[in-house]
Structure 1
Amino acid sequence: MTEIISSVLQNLPFSTKIASVALRYPAPTCISVLTLSIWVAHRYIKSPWHKVPPGPIGLPIIGSALKFFDTFWLIKECPQYGDLVYLNVAGQPVVILNTQRVAVDLLERRAATNSGRPRLIVASELMCDDMLVGLESDTERWRRQRRAVHEGFTKSAVKRFHPALVEDAIRLAVSLSQDSSSFRQHYQHFACSTVLAVTYDRPLHGKPGDDALRVHIDTIVRKLVAAASPGAHLVELMPWMLRLPSWMAKWKRDALDAHHDAKQFFVGLLDEVDARDKQGMARPCLTSMLLQDLKRSHLTKLEAAWASGMMYSGGAETTTVTLTWWTLAMIAFPGAQRRAQSELDAVVGRGRLPSFADREHLPYTVALLREVLRWRMSLPLALPHSSNEDAWYEGMFIPKGTILLANLLPCNRDSAVYGNDADLFRPERHLDSEHGQLAPVHPATKNHGHVSFGFGRRNCVGQHVAEDTLFIAAATLLWAFEFSKARDEMGRERDIDTEGFDASGFTLRANHYDCSITPRFPEATSILTDEKELAATSRP
């Protein structure tokens, strides 16, 4: 009988055999199952992974990738899960930081372990030799490059760039007086010109080669942005593909060609600055400073060229977008515009243009700009940080290799910092209610009144230049022009959308709107024209 049963069992499927054995030996089977269950439960309880921050339940394989790439979800719904939100993005741990408190705790107080950068094989390693400061990983070279750029962009050091910024602000105002309907294009030209002036003393003032220069650098930046976009290249998910020879991988050939082009271009711009310096024909600029301090900063010429090249990719688009949001705020909140203009009339008058020397006497104008940067910023998320070790925060587990992202809009509307009306546009929040002067700001904002420049060692290294650029542009435009809603054929004001936005790229752009920009008083245009000619003749 036993032989018959054994013969039958041998011919049964494996799963059926197991069931048959379990039926024949119920007690040992129960003990084994119970032991296995206890072991699994023990492993689960002891594993830190079930203590990651709260977050949405993901889908099989892709996890919460769809939510991660949905800017509307990140801004509107993500904060509902808590101050820290965990997302499994196709196996990559991501933690979103929704308040200033947790962003400061993790990205500044723990900067030593949370200042890495997620690996970007194509955009950083292949296209930039891992030397573009904004994309570079946390290495000794990155620290040397960033330190050198930071020294050139401290709050006091950027004053050397003020003449160039003033000249470009005047040129912007003159362009608007001639064709206000193209204000977006004028803003873009202004942003590109100021960044090139500050970086290479090469403003876009109508010289031969200006158009070619801008097209070339825009092409380099566009390729970098495309390569850094999530899902752009399969090699980011399967790094072994990096070993493929170039003849087998078009993406690799394209990246190496882009690297060769960008390297030659940035080195060429650096050589031009070097030549003008030796001839005594250059105004102060970042590249000039880097060249003078190569030995002290321990940088090679190539590292300095890439450090300078980073500035355009990080500054031109964000400045353009910010000015577009600022203009929308001026027409959406005319009372704020009128108050700033009254302040400018009282301090500056109408016989001259505003200057940087006036800034300390224009608290409301400064507060207005701060509120625009808090209310709407150009980047929805700060640049990513990466953790280099397992860590715990308030009882929550943050695994090694986690991407840490500060969610800037919720951070800028943090009720713990700005009060229950944080969603409202109210420049007065930045002023002392008693004297009308600028009020002390929250420490997390680094004297800006907002956190749009990011946190920790990966914050915007050009933040003081950006702040000065936006101030002189805003003050000059408010002094010269009245901004109002556009009107249709029947003379009715056209509606504008202050809540919607376009997040199709890396930046957070205002939805399309039209506006009317007209001189505030008859002499404004002639004063602008005279100042433009005077600035042009005073350049070296």
Structure 2
Amino acid sequence: MSLLYNMLWYLDLRTVLLCVVVLLVLRWFLGRPKNLPPGPWGFPLIGSVLAIHREMRRGVEPHDLFMRYAAKYGPVFRLKIFNKTVVVLNDYTSVKEAFQHPQLNDRPDNLLNELLKSEGVAFASGEKWVELRRFCLTVLRSFGVGKTSFEEKIGTEAEELMKEMSALNGKPFDPKPLLINAVSNVICSVIFGKRYEYADGEFKNLLSMLGENAKLFGSGGAMIFFPALRHLPFMSANKLESNVKAIELFLTSIIDNHRAVFDLDNLDDFIDVYLMELRNNQANDKAGAKHGHLTEHTFTGTITNLFAAGSETTATTLHWALLYMAVYPDIQQRVQAEIDAVVGRNRLPRMADKPELNFTRAVIWEVQRMTIVAPLGIPHAAASDTQFHGFMIPKGSLLVPNLWAVARDLKVWSDRDQFRPERFLNDKGEAVQAEELIPFSVGRRSCIGEHLAKMELFVFFSFFLHQFTFKKPDDAPPPALKGRGGLTNSPRVFNICAMKRE
């Protein structure tokens, strides 16, 4: 009797489980909104996770895989990642139109906000994001960021970096640690009111963790926006979380030090201005506060966002630029010849020289196009059900800009895989940037540090080529131009020699 009972219980359990599976599958197929963008089939519950992972194991990056899907399904197609609808945008028109749409400007829930217990400007939505972004831009501009006068601060840091390079006397070195320290010092001077020496071990370790996280987050920051991925065995979630916590601790200690010596009459940096706004909010009720969304909850997150965004991406672009100059010495020589003709050998380049340095600017743009440091940008989220390009985008859907595909659209870039800076020069030899080149994305949520990054790229790159010739070490194999996957597309580790010019 007991055996019969156990058998019946087991059969009942199997029946219940089967019914649950059937219901989930039916919900998967029948519960989808009508008129979604087309896209590849995915498994119930997990969607296209396995298909993407399989291709990545074969060495195919998601941005390349999405280009293949776009060729089959069109520039706007849909994926399912777990329970999330993901709409991938693969040409300039769709990215521009989507990211200018007021209902497609939110951010999805994400792992960073969860780990930091803080919602920064990069990952906030709605009125909170509008206020935080406006405040950040206003404060950064008040400290000169984006203005021509700010070039002196960037130039000073570039000269410090070149001293480090000169001290190596042409010996091979890995340029990334020096580059990220120098670029980070520029944003640190505005946010923290200080810079860090290149020999500062604690800061070097912090920047190393920042670069490591860019890889651990996965392509397009997959683990940020799909936190469930951290539970998969092939994701390095523990290391990622420990790095985030260490960076948070470092930044929190800086904020606490500012609190301890805060002086309302001496607002020296971004943190000081934020602290002043917090005090003003405390002195007024929420309804009367000028910046009611500037709270302790958004403080650490915003500082983290500005610090990370102002360090990693620009340094990585410069990293690529040095690599391309070593691989294409003839182009490097043309840049040097132009700088010498316009600037001379008795002084360093200035922003005022920029209009005449046409080929130099074209080279920077072509490096950005070829490498697209953030291939999948940062996803947006639909604030409501939205009609877009004839399709229904359900509320909560993620919209992913495949900036890599935009920079390789054959309708715009016929020889897309060729490094050819001349594509940005008109018949008169003048530099003309194509509107389809959008390494900083487009729309209201485009990179908050775009103006700063553009100035840094010009100043650092022109200084470097004015003072040095870069080449690969004699005994080194040809460097690889294929990057490492992650949140950012970074060069594989390489050494380079900086030969001082006469």
Normalised by the length of structure 1, the TM-score is 0.72
SS state of the match for residue 155, structure 2?
A: helix
Equivalent of 1:87 in 76, 79, 87: 79
Answer whether contact 1:201 1:273 (CA < 8 A) is retained: no
Moved more, 263-272 or 194-203: 263-272
- The residue aligned with 1:506 is 487
- 1:233/1:453 CA distance change after superposition, 3 Å: closer
Deviation at 1:225, TM superposition (A): 8.7
Structure 1 segment 371-520 matched on structure 2, within 5 A: 371-416=366-411, 418-434=412-428, 436-439=429-432, 441-442=434-435, 450-488=437-475, 494-498=477-481, 500-503=482-485, 505-520=486-501
- The residue aligned with 1:193 is 185
Answer whether contact 1:502 1:508 (CA < 8 A) is retained: yes
Q: Deviation string for 1:204-231 (max 9, x for gaps)?
A: 1369xx5435546766897899689645
Q: Deviation string for 1:243-298 (max 9, x for gaps)?
A: xxxxxxx99x98998798467335226448955x8469x5xx54456567776555
Q: Deviation string for 1:67-87 (max 9, x for gaps)?
A: 456461432523323201211
- 1:348/1:117 CA distance change after superposition, 3 Å: same
- The residue aligned with 1:202 is 194
Give the counterpart letter for 1:314 in structure 2. Answer: A
Give the counterpart letter for 2:184 in structure 1. Answer: C
Answer whether contact 1:327 1:483 (CA < 8 A) is retained: yes
Identity of aligned residues (%): 25
Q: Deviation string for 1:357-403 (max 9, x for gaps)?
A: 22222122112111111111221211110012222333323222110
Deviation at 1:147, TM superposition (A): 0.8
Query: How many residues were matched structurally?
Result: 443
Structure 2: distance between partners of 1:481 and 1:425: 21
SS state of the match for residue 482, structure 1?
A: strand
Structure 1 segment 310-349 matched on structure 2, within 5 A: 310-349=305-344
- The residue aligned with 2:6 is none
- 1:381/1:440 CA distance change after superposition, 3 Å: closer
Task: Confirm or deny that 1:268 pairs with 2:256.
Answer: yes
Structure 1: distance between partners of 2:202 and 2:334: 42
Answer whether contact 2:342 2:353 (CA < 8 A) is retained: yes
Answer whether contact 2:184 2:307 (CA < 8 A) is retained: yes
Moved more, 387-396 or 210-219: 210-219
Q: Deviation string for 1:46-77 (max 9, x for gaps)?
A: x8745322222223432211345646143252
- 1:495/1:219 CA distance change after superposition, 3 Å: closer
Structure 1 segment 239-388 matched on structure 2, within 5 A: 261=249, 264-268=252-256, 270-271=258-259, 274-275=262-263, 278=265, 282=268, 285-287=269-271, 290=274, 297=291, 300=294, 302=296, 303=298, 306-388=301-383
- The residue aligned with 2:7 is none
Uncovered stretches (5+) of structure 1, i.e. residues with no partner = 1-12, 14-39, 239-249, 522-540
- 1:405/1:357 CA distance change after superposition, 3 Å: same
Deviation at 1:324, TM superposition (A): 1.6
Give the counterpart letter for 2:177 in structure 1. Answer: Q
Q: Deviation string for 1:95-130 (max 9, x for gaps)?
A: 11111100011111x1x111111112x52045233x
Structure 1 segment 25-64 matched on structure 2, within 5 A: 49=33, 51-64=35-48
Deviation at 1:485, TM superposition (A): 3.2
- 1:328/1:213 CA distance change after superposition, 3 Å: closer
Structure 1: distance between partners of 2:493 and 2:214: 26
Q: Deviation string for 1:294-334 (max 9, x for gaps)?
A: 76555647445643332112121212221221112112222
Calculate the aligned-residue CA RMSD, in Å.
3.8
- 1:119/1:461 CA distance change after superposition, 3 Å: same
Normalised by the length of structure 2, the TM-score is 0.77
Structure 2: distance between partners of 1:237 and 1:511: 25
- 1:262/1:185 CA distance change after superposition, 3 Å: closer
Structure 1 segment 9-158 matched on structure 2, within 5 A: 49=33, 51-68=35-52, 70=56, 72-76=61-65, 77-81=68-72, 82-108=74-100, 110=101, 112-120=102-110, 122-125=111-114, 127-129=116-118, 131-136=119-124, 138-153=125-140, 157-158=145-146
Structure number, greater radius of gyration? 1
- 1:401/1:173 CA distance change after superposition, 3 Å: same
Task: Confirm or deny that 1:167 pairs with 2:128.
Answer: no
- 1:147/1:101 CA distance change after superposition, 3 Å: same
Answer whether contact 2:338 2:359 (CA < 8 A) is retained: yes
Structure 1: distance between partners of 2:365 and 2:127: 34
Structure 2: distance between partners of 1:378 and 1:298: 34
Relative CO higher for 1 or 2, CA cutoff 8 Å, sep ≥ 6?
2
- 1:424/1:274 CA distance change after superposition, 3 Å: farther
- 1:298/1:60 CA distance change after superposition, 3 Å: closer
Give the counterpart letter for 1:135 in structure 2. Answer: F
Answer whether contact 1:291 1:301 (CA < 8 A) is retained: no
Structure 2: distance between partners of 1:325 and 1:224: 16
SS state of the match for residue 106, structure 2?
A: coil
Moved more, 317-326 or 96-105: 317-326
Q: Deviation string for 1:480-523 (max 9, x for gaps)?
A: 111223322xxxx732322x2210x32111233343321121xx
Structure 1: distance between partners of 2:487 and 2:433: 32
Structure 2: distance between partners of 1:201 and 1:348: 32
SS state of the match for residue 430, structure 2?
A: coil
Give the counterpart letter for 2:335 in structure 1. Answer: A
SS state of the match for residue 310, structure 2?
A: helix
- 1:132/1:214 CA distance change after superposition, 3 Å: farther
